[in-house]
Amino acid sequence: MTPGINTTDNNTARPERRYRFLVAGYAVSSYGTFLNTVALNLFVYATTGRALAMGLFMAVRLASGFAAGLTAGALLARFTAKSVMLWTNAAQAAVMLSLVLAPDELRTGALIAVCVVVGACGTLFMVALRSSVPEMVAPERLTWANSLSITARSVAMVAGFASAGVVVSLVGYTAAFVIDTATFVVCAVTVALLPVAGGAAGTGAEAVPAGGAEAEPPGRRRMPVALAALAAAPGLGLMVALRGVDAFGSSSHNAALPVHSSALDASHPAVFVSAFWCLWAVGNIGAQQVIQRYARRTGRAVGALGFGYGTVVMSAAFILAFVGLPLAATAVVALVAGAADGLTEVSYTSHLQTLSARLRGHAFGLSATFENLGFGVGMIIVAAALEGYSPLTVVAWSHGAAIVVALAFLLRVSAQQAGGPGVRKGALRGVRQPRRGDRDGAGTPLG
């Protein structure tokens, strides 16, 4: 070994540089996704002249994401995460290009194809990315890696939403769709250039029994892999269910914010919404910086308690946003909501990544299904409820449900922390990051 060169640091730094490069490509495509969210909704309304059409296209997109979540685990059991991430970006670029080139008589069909492909491929890409992170960075760097990707997405969201109106106004829908197409191409090229690991086909994990347990006796009925993923760690099923209820709550403030903003300033309804989401993103990004420093300084993850408390604080903050507080206080509430949202995202993702490689894709796929279901059903119920109730009432009930489930989750975690059967006392307080030899964490308690 050459004197003065730390090969351990070099071996760690190189994969992290590659991961940063991948996150940069993901940030570019995320910008295109958020830009497209605004531009596509406006385009659907301009094409059809009906607000109902926007809701229907959003429903198609969410239904596609729901279906993709159900199949994501099986797909990652057959193909590498790299191939899934590559072809989902290529498919989104192709369908966006088809929308640009479609003649007027085929425009509706092209729009439906965009909703289906973007909804399904967006979910598959996220499942593949999140489930493969443990194969790309050292186990003790999982919190850092997840925080970095969440920061990139938050920045992309602000940039996408902020620039959407300018891009559409100045250069039109076609240019916006071309930009979106280019962002997917950039992300696909980024994935293609990197030796991204992950997925059972790339790790040989399909031969590993669920949860790392011994092979089941002959004649015994096997548990579906998705259910095995939920049963792999104590309370994981409740954790995923809470994620779905949280998505239901998210649908309420997404639908209610424009209504509330219009009531505050009917002549400039977009001002409050834009400012709120910008402050939310600032809070989210700030939380990621704190989480990264905490993990680096202590070597500990935020843990399951962080996910539960974060959900309670985030839901409470979104309720307060509709109370009618002074603008300065509402700005603080938006910052708190973003910071709490960032905390829950990191803790939740990091915990699911402690599952074995065989179960990880199924767990993330099932989680995406619950999230799409909660958000989709919520949008339908909330849209109907806003016809007869105030935004505050609707948001309070929706996020109130998330708070109730979060409190039940916290009670479950606290009971395990006190020393439940088969659980190490204190294991749920916020465990240190797993060691390099602890790749299969399916049997570990929540933390």
DSSP 438: -
Among residues 184, 200, 216, which one ends one of the domains? 200
Whether residues 228 and 187 fall in one domain: no
Residue at 149 is within a domain: no
Same domain, 176 and 270: no
Asked whether residue 85 is assigned to any structural domain, the reply reads: yes
pTM over 0.85: no
Residue 427: predicted pLDDT: 38
Do 52 and 189 belong together in one domain? Answer: yes
| Phi, psi at 432, each rounded to 5° | -70, 160
Residue 69 included in any domain? yes
Same domain, 83 and 172: yes
Residues 236 and 346 placed together within one structural domain of the fold: yes
**Within a domain: 210:** no
Q: Determine, yes or no, domain membership for 216.
A: no
Cα(386)–Cα(392) distance, rounded to whole angstroms? Answer: 10
Distances, alpha carbon 189 to alpha carbons 35, 83, 145, 186, 212, in Å: 20, 12, 20, 5, 35
- Does residue 245 sit in the same domain as residue 167? no
pLDDT at 419: 62
CATH number of residue 116's parent domain: 1.20.1250
**Do 168 and 260 fall within a single domain?**
no
- Are 310 and 391 contained in the same domain? yes
The tokens for 384 are 């109907």
Res 197: pLDDT: 58
- The tally of domains found in the chain comes to 2
Task: Identify the CATH number of the domain in which residue 228 sits.
Answer: 1.20.1250.20
- Residue 52 pLDDT: 64
Q: Give the domain range for residue 168.
A: 17-138+160-200
Which stretches in the chain have pLDDT values below 50? 1-8, 202-222, 421-447
Residue 250, Cβ density class (10 Å: 0-12 exposed, 13-18 middle, ≥19 buried): buried
SS3 145: helix
Helix axes 269-298, 327-352, angle to 10 degrees: 50
pLDDT attached to residue 51 = 58
Q: Is residue 35 in some structural domain?
A: yes
Same domain as 169, residue 100:
yes
Residues 336 and 372 in one domain: yes
Distance from C-alpha of 349 to C-alpha of 21, rounded to nearest angstrom: 20
Q: Which of 374, 362, 256 is nearest to 311 (CA)?
A: 374
Residue 310: predicted pLDDT? 93
Q: What is the pLDDT of residue 185?
A: 95
Q: Where are the alpha helices (DSSP H) in 49-106?
A: 51-78, 81-101
C-alpha of 445 from chain center: 23
Q: Specify whether 184 is located in the same domain as 238.
A: no
Tell me if 445 is assigned to some domain: no
Residues 389 and 246 in one domain: yes
| Residue 5 covered by a domain | no
